[in-house]
Structure 1
């Protein structure tokens, strides 16, 4: 009986012991799990921090690459327009990488794309350098061609100037010339004898003599010579007032006193022409100017005084 009571008393003690042991094991398990969870959390935090740092690094690398690309484009100016297609590829890849970095992303995948973008960008620079070299060569050739064109233009101008000078020389050489010019007021006596006079009232005619110079350039043949005699008041001594007593000189119709056709054969030739005074004309005292014309050229000048 006594042993039975002892057994019954020991049973609760054993039950409590196992409960304590179980509680201790559970407590130790909870403590271990807590320690493990804390460790995992710390590791996750470190991983997230490391990943964020990697993201920032990749973003910085991408921004640096695109900034450098923009500077390269700006430095090449209008030449960069020739590689618009390559630039579009670079911009599209950069946009894709940015989008990946803003959401769920894989470091190695983004890094691979970034490395590929860098290769494309380097290829862009090489192509631009090639274009610059080609452009410099073309520019140099263009400048050389322009210089050659300018030289040819200068040569042409010089030739044209020489031609104009030669034409001027020929034109000047192709003009009749006169020398030994004399204009003499004459009084005609009975029997037709002429005597020189300086008396206004005794003048019957004016005798104008000159020598046409030798000129082998001119075409031989009939040359029409015009003489204008201007009185002191500059009025021209003419045979009449109609247009039949005028000739064209440098685009202007002017009066003449004497017109004579002369058969010129390129040799020196003495010529004497006469202007006969009308009986009704009263001549003025003073200085008279005599001009001799052939075509548009004034070929001789002389004067006399009454």
Structure 2
């Protein structure tokens, strides 16, 4: 049996220990490298997650900006105003949103993040300034609306006043017109026979067949309101059957009475001088007069100013 060599055994032990140390060292290195790789992957995933979060946040910011600019545009339109710069900003934001949404499929770099953050901050400042402008416009509009309402109220009051004045003026005109109407006073009818003898109609024995002419006389009553001017005085001699005597050859004609064309028997033009002046008509029928009640009507300025009757037997 061979004798053991202590030195050889020691060397063998040292070799085994060395191998174990080497293996442990290699395993440690491998573990470290794997840990580093895992950590790097996690860091990369975190970076991607942060970038994605930033991207989604930016998309939300731009969507909110778009909604606010659209709100401003609607508010201006409600006030009857338009703003091309707002429409341009909305178009710009729509373009930025399309680009931001495209970054979901590509990398969203730090440079891109800074770029869109800065643009969003600039848009937010513009949004705030425009909100202040709109608030001022609304305030001015409220003031103008109040002033306009006051003006409309004043205008309505003026219109009412003018309407009242017109009504009062019309009423006054009507009163003046009514007060200025002439009046035929003391109307008398005299009968003239074929021998030129004149007699009033109270003579019972006077016969219709003996009448040649009829004289109608009256005075124009005093009237301080009536204008001193030429007046057209019309006389209607109405027979018992209700028809007015009418003969163009003796000066008869027509005039408007209550909207209807009406015959008159004779006409006189006189200058009214408010002196209770006398006016008379002498009418010859040229034929035998009818028996019965005859009516005399006197007109001036389209109104009846006197009326009387007489009877022929």
Q: 1:226 — aligned with what?
A: 234
Task: Give the total of aligned pairs.
Answer: 297
1:221–1:263 Cα contact (<8 Å) kept: yes
Q: Which residue of 2 aligns with 1:288?
A: 294
Q: Which residue of 2 aligns with 1:38?
A: 38
Is 1:245 aligned to 2:245, yes or no? Answer: no
Change (3 A) 1:207 1:11: same
Is contact 1:183-1:207 (8 Å) kept?
A: yes
Q: State TM-score, norm by structure 2.
A: 0.73
Partner-residue secondary structure (3-state), 2:305: strand
Q: Call closer, same or farther: CA 1:51–1:233 in 2, change over 3 Å.
A: same
Separation (CA, whole Å) in 1 of partners of 2:125 and 2:270: 95
CA contact (8 A) 2:238 2:245 kept: yes
Aligned residue for 1:282, secondary structure, equals coil
SS across alignment from 2:48:
helix
Q: Distance in 2 between matches of 1:153 and 1:170?
A: 25
- Distance in 2, Cα, partners of 1:303 & 1:116: 103
Give the TM-score normalised by structure 1: 0.74
1:194 has 2:202 as partner = no
- Once residues 16 and 80 of structure 1 are traced to their aligned partners in structure 2, the CA distance between those partners, rounded to angstroms, is 95
Instruction: Kindly indicate whether the alpha-carbon contact (under 8 Å) linking 1:206 and 1:275 is maintained by their aligned counterparts in 2.
Output: yes
Residue 122 of structure 1, CA deviation: 1.8
Q: Is the 8 A contact 2:194 2:210 kept in 1?
A: no
Matched, 1:51 2:51: yes
Q: In structure 2, the residue corresponding to 1:41 is in which secondary structure?
A: helix
Is the CA contact (8 Å cut-off) linking 1:246 and 1:255 kept in structure 2? yes
| Structure 1 position 160, deviation (Å) | 3.4
Alignment of 1:69-88 (within 5 A): 69-75=69-75, 77-79=77-79, 81-86=81-86, 88=88
- 1:37 deviates by 0.4
Change (3 A) 1:256 1:180: same
- Structure 1 residue corresponding to 2:158, chosen from 137, 152, 156: 152
1:191 Cα deviation after fit: 7.8
Distance 1:295 1:242, change over 3 A: farther
**1:247–1:255: 8 Å Cα contact kept in structure 2?**
yes
The secondary structure found in structure 1 opposite 2:79 is helix
Q: 1:294 to 1:46 in 2, by over 3 A?
A: same
Q: Which residue in the other structure is 1:214 paired with? A: 222
Moved more, 40-49 or 13-22: 13-22
Residues 131-146 of structure 1 aligned to structure 2 (within 5 Å): 131-146=137-152
Change (3 A) 1:144 1:248: same
Aligned-pair CA distance for 1:230: 1.7
2:3 equivalent in structure 1: none
Gapped runs of 5+ residues in structure 1?
A: 1-6
